[in-house]
Chain A
C-alpha cells in the first residue's frame, strides 16, 4: 500500500510540471493531491440540474432568487420540469444536461435541484475530462452522495454536501433561523470562506481531536456504492454519515457494511449526523440505540466520534466541503469542526 502510494505521488510530482491542475489517479489516498474548485465571484454562473428526481421550475424559484441575491447568475438546466416517471428526464436527458454543465467553462458551480434516486444510473455515462481540467463545485446531498464519492475516489476534486433547491423555503418570512443559516452556509462555502461548525455535545461522544480530509454522505447510498468504482476511500479521512427513513436493523447492517468493507479501521474521525429511524409497528424493538449500533463497531479504534452533528435530512443541515481538510475537536462540553 505504501509503495503504491509512493509511486502515485512521485508520478504526480513528475507530471505536475507539465499539467499543474491535473491530479493523477487514483488519488483518494493522498490528501495533498485533493484540489478545490475556484471560489465563486460576483457574477459567476451556477447551473441547476436534476440528475435524479423530477422537479418543477416553480419548486426551484426560491433557490434561484436566493442565489441571485448572493450576486450569482443562474442557468436553469433542461432537466428542470422534465419528467420520466420518478426521474427528472430519461437517463440520456439527465446525462446530457449535467454533461453540458460539466463542460461549459462559464458555469462555476452545479447545484443539483433535488435528490431522489437516479445519479448512479448516469455516473458511468458522464465524461469528466473537461471537469478535471477545470474543476467546479458540485452541490447537493442524499442521492448526490454518488457524485461526492465518485469525485473523492476517482478525481480528487472537492465538492459541497449541502441542501438543494427543494429545501429553500417559499416564504422566507416564515423560515426558522436555522433554515436561513444553513442555506447561507452554501454561499459561504461557494465564496471560499473557511468553514466552521459547532455541534451540541453528546454524552456518548468519544473525545479527541483529529485532522483529515472530510468525506461522506448518505449512508445507504455509500453502502450501495461498495465494490464499485465510486466506492468511497476512507483511509486517513474524517467520515460523516447521515440517513433517513431506514429501519434500525438496516442502519445496523449498513454500519456493519462500513466495518466489513474496511471503512472504519483507518479513519481519523467519525461524524454521525441525523438519523431518522423508521419504526416497524409489527416488529419487536431492535433493542439497541443508534449510539449502541455505532459504538460497538468502533470499540477497537481510538479516533474521536461525535453524534448529533448538524448534517442530514433535516433543517439543521449545513454545507460541508467534501475533499477538504478539516479539524474535528470533540470535547466534553464543546464539539467543533473547522476547515484548515
Chain B
C-alpha cells in the first residue's frame, strides 16, 4: 500500500518554497494570507520565496537547501511549491529523502513539480498532491472550487469529482492508482531514475504551450516506451495554448491523443479539469481511484 502522509490539522504548518522558477513575494502573499486566515493552518515561508538568481528562485544550492530544510523539519506537515517553471530536474538527485521516508508529508504542486511526483512515487511510494500553486490563489482565485479542492484534500476529505462528458471519451470503468502530471516532463523522465510507472494505473496528463507535433511525438514516446498499453484508464486534462507550425499538423490535440490510444480498451476521458488554467482539481497521486466514464458523466472517485 502506498504511504499516505498525515492529513493536516488546524494549526499545522505548510512550508512554502520555490524549487524552480522565481516568484515575487507579492504574488505569494495572498496564498499565505488565505492559508493562515481562512484555512486555519500556519505557514513557514522558505528562503527561496521572493529570491532570484537569473531565471531561478536561487542557485541550485539555495533551492536545494530550502527544500531539504522543509523536508527535514518535522513541524512542517506539507510543502507547497509556490510555482513551477523549470529547475527541479537540476536538484532532484541531490535531495535526501531519508527523513521524508520516515516522516512523509504532502508535497504539493504541478507542472515542473511533476518531477517530484514521479520521482517520489517511483522511489519512495508516498502519495503527493498534484494541485494548484500560489498564483491560483490570486485575484480571488482562492474562492473557486479548484483551490478549495486543495484545502479539502489536505484536510483528508475523500476525493470525488464529477465532470462533463466529451465526444471523444471512451466509456468504461477503471480502477488503479492515480499517477501523472505534465506530459512534457513525463516524457522527459522516461528512462531516468524518476521514470513514472504506469502499468495497471490510471494516468492523467496535461500540458501547455506545446506544438501539436511535439505533443504527437511525446505520445509516441510514451507509447513506444510501453507507458500506454497497460493502463487502467487515461485522464486527459487541459492542453491549452497549443501551437502549430506554418504547415498545419492536421489534427487537433484531442485527435492526436485519441489516436495514440485507439488500439487499447481502457476508459479515456478528455478535458478533465487538471491543467495550467484555473480548472485544476487537486489529485492525490498514488492513491487508488475509480474512473467511471459514462455517457452523461465522468466520475473520478477515491
Contacts and interface: CB of A to CB of B under 8 A. Distances in A.
Interface of A: 53-54, 84-87, 117, 120-121, 124, 223-231, 249-250, 252-253, 256-257, 260-261, 283-288
B213 A117 contact: yes
Contacts of B22: 284
B220 A223 contact: no
| Highest count of chain A CB atoms <10 Å: which of B89, B90, B188, B225 | B188
Given A226-B221, A253-B188, A283 B249 contact: no
Contacts of A261: 191-192
A260 B93 contact: yes
A173 B41 CA distance: 74
Contacts of B220: 120-121, 224
Contacts of B53: 287
Contacts of A120: 217, 220-221, 224
Contacts of A228: 190, 221, 224-225
Contacts of A250: 86
A85 B190 contact: no
Contacts of B224: 120, 124, 227-230
Contact of B55 (A54, A117, A223, A286): A286
Interface in B194-212: 194-195
B221 A117 contact: no
| Highest count of chain A CB atoms <10 Å: which of B224, B247, B249 | B224
| Highest count of chain B CB atoms <10 Å: which of A85, A121, A250, A287 | A85
A283 B55 contact: yes
B265 to A, nearest CB: 20
Nearest to B193: A260
A224 B187 contact: yes
Which 5 pairs between the two chains have the least Cβ-Cβ distance? A287-B54, A85-B250, A227-B225, A227-B190, A228-B224
5 contacts: A117-B216, A124-B224, A252-B90, A260-B191, A286-B54
Contacts of B218: 224
| Highest count of chain B CB atoms <10 Å: which of A120, A223, A224, A257 | A224
B86 A86 contact: no
A248 to B, nearest CB: 8
| Highest count of chain A CB atoms <10 Å: which of B54, B192, B194, B248 | B192
Interface of B: 22, 52-56, 86, 89-90, 93, 187-188, 190-195, 213, 216-218, 220-221, 224-226, 245, 247-251
Contacts of A85: 247-251
A250 B247 CA distance: 24
A261 B247 CA distance: 33
Nearest to B20: A249
B54 A86 contact: no
B119 to A, nearest CB: 10
| Highest count of chain A CB atoms <10 Å: which of B54, B191, B194, B218 | B191
A252 B88 CA distance: 12
Contact of A226 (B55, B194, B216, B225): B225
Nearest to B56: A287
Contact of B217 (A53, A117, A287): A117
A287 B190 contact: no
Nearest to B85: A249
Nearest to B86: A249
A124 B225 CA distance: 12
A227 B191 contact: yes
A92 B192 CA distance: 33
A154 B188 CA distance: 22
A111 to B, nearest CB: 21
| Highest count of chain B CB atoms <10 Å: which of A120, A124, A227, A285 | A227
A86 B190 contact: no
B194 A260 contact: yes
B198 to A, nearest CB: 12
A53 B187 contact: no
Contacts of A229: 224
Contacts of A283: 55
Nearest to A124: B224
A226 B191 contact: yes
Nearest to A247: B86
A252 B193 CA distance: 17
B18 to A, nearest CB: 13
Contacts of B89: 253, 256, 260
Nearest to B244: A86
A261 B187 CA distance: 12
Given A226-B191, A228-B190, A260-B191, 11 more contacts: A85-B250, A86-B250, A120-B217, A120-B224, A224-B187, A224-B218, A226-B192, A227-B190, A249-B86, A253-B188, A285-B55
A86 B55 contact: no
A259 B127 CA distance: 27
A231 B226 CA distance: 13
